[in-house]
Structure 1
Amino acid sequence: MFASERREHLVRLAAELFAEKGYQATTVRNIADEAGILSGSLYHHFDSKESIVDEILSAFFDELTATNQAALERGGDPRTILAALVSNCFGTLVPHRAAIMVMQNDWNYLRQFDRFDYLTRSEEKAERMWMGQISKGQEIGLFRDDIDARLTYRMIRDTIWVAVRWFRPGGRLDAQGLADHYIKVLFDGIAVH
């Protein structure tokens, strides 16, 4: 196995342990044991456990930011763009499951370290993207003007990310099917009109 392949393998193993046990509860020894190597051998690939989780989270945020930016650049009305943002988020549930679990479980712990300042910056950027579309939709009469854009964004965000806890690939709906259902409920509600 090449060094880069070994490194990727270690990141995947660590990601699953972080998702299962939590970042703080997972030790370097746990990761090494899972990989079948000595703890010290892990330091041949990473300088710290923080480096591993940093790689996991930065890859997630980089990809999500890029796909969301692409949705904005494709344009369309606010409903179309919000639907694309929702689909992008649900599309990360499988490939970035561990990163989302770490975000949910260890966000407040990691935010205290300068190394993870990008977490807050990424979240603020996402909030501006979403709120901008919600506000624009309100201005043009597409969305109700009696809802708070920030609160609405946070409710949408939280209901999407919590799905990582119960969504299982291979179930009745794949990630896009789940996104489509969510979009239907988001825009059309559950009441018969």
Structure 2
Amino acid sequence: MAATRSGAGSARNAAGGTRGSDRRAELLGIAARLFATQGYARTTVRDIAEDAGILSGSLYHHFSSKEAMLDEILRDFLGRLLVRFTEIEKREGVTPKEKLDELVLHAFVTIHDSPHAVALYQKESGALSHQAAFEYVNKYSHENDEVWLRVLAAGQESGAFRADIDVDLLYRSMRDSIWATVRWYQPGGGYDPAELADHFLSILYGGLLAR
């Protein structure tokens, strides 16, 4: 009987842990959306709680502060992005062009899957990077940039990409064009991430002028 009660208690704890984890994720999703649309400074704990249908005090059962929520959103977003970009770069038996194709596709997939995190990062990263608690934002950003720059440089070295192109300038143009898509992209609005990536790469590789 004791073993049965212990097992039942463990099952309840596991279920409660899952529900708690799901609730945290839900609250972070609400916070990311409000931070992205209203701005971090203008969004209050009360705003987040009201949107979630709970009292402000209940939010503190899950997070110590609004800043803690922002921190978790950005760390998760930037960390996952770096992991995936690094995986693409390190793939063996894949050409630099194929790696660049994958990087571009994953960027558009990220915009599709995590639009609020992308928009939040774009809006707030400049100001946050000067705060000690968010110094990692610059670190992650730099490491993500370096992945793309190495892939582009490898493409030049292999002869696949033009050697007379300034890689840094090219990357900045690509980065800003791709991530700015979050401002107008709507899931189900006529283009999926793969179509956006194909269109972008077609212009990048083929240019605008008719041949």
TM-score range, shorter chain: over 0.9
How far apart, CA to CA, are the structure 2 residues paired with 1:173 and 1:83? Answer: 17
Task: Give unmatched runs, 5+ long, in structure 1.
Answer: none
Return structure 1 stretches of 4+ with deviation > 4 angstroms. none
The question of 1:112 aligning with 2:116 is answered no
The residue number in structure 2 matching 1:168 is 186
Aligned length in residues: 193
Cα offsets for 1:156-187 (capped at 9, x unmatched): 11111100010100021111111111111111
The residue number in structure 1 matching 2:197 is 179
The question of 1:28 aligning with 2:45 is answered yes
C-alpha displacement at 1:11, in angstroms?
0.8
Is this contact kept in 1: 2:89–2:151, CA < 8 A?
Answer: no
The question of 1:139 aligning with 2:192 is answered no
Report the TM-score when normalising by structure 2.
0.86
Percent sequence identity over aligned pairs? 41
The question of 1:189 aligning with 2:186 is answered no
The residue number in structure 2 matching 1:14 is 31
C-alpha displacement at 1:94, in angstroms?
2.1
How far apart, CA to CA, are the structure 1 residues paired with 2:146 and 2:29? Answer: 31
The question of 1:63 aligning with 2:88 is answered no
Report the TM-score when normalising by structure 1.
0.93
C-alpha displacement at 1:5, in angstroms?
2.0
For the aligned residues, what is the CA RMSD?
1.5
C-alpha displacement at 1:98, in angstroms?
1.0
Point out the structure with max Rg over C-alpha.
2
Among 52, 55, 60, the alignment partner of 1:38 is 55
How far apart, CA to CA, are the structure 1 residues paired with 2:148 and 2:66? Answer: 32
C-alpha displacement at 1:91, in angstroms?
0.7
How far apart, CA to CA, are the structure 2 residues paired with 1:139 and 1:91? Answer: 28
Counterpart code for 1:47 = S
Counterpart code for 2:84 = T
Is this contact kept in 1: 2:108–2:193, CA < 8 A?
Answer: yes
1:47 is paired with a residue whose SS is coil
Counterpart code for 1:110 = L
How far apart, CA to CA, are the structure 1 residues paired with 2:34 and 2:207? Answer: 37
Is this contact kept in 1: 2:30–2:51, CA < 8 A?
Answer: yes
Counterpart code for 1:109 = A
Task: Give unmatched runs, 5+ long, in structure 2.
Answer: 1-15
Superposition pairs of residues 81-120 of structure 1, within 5 angstroms? 81-120=99-138
Is this contact kept in 2: 1:32–1:42, CA < 8 A?
Answer: yes
Cα offsets for 1:40-94 (capped at 9, x unmatched): 2211110111111122112211221121112112242221111111011111012
Is this contact kept in 2: 1:24–1:106, CA < 8 A?
Answer: no
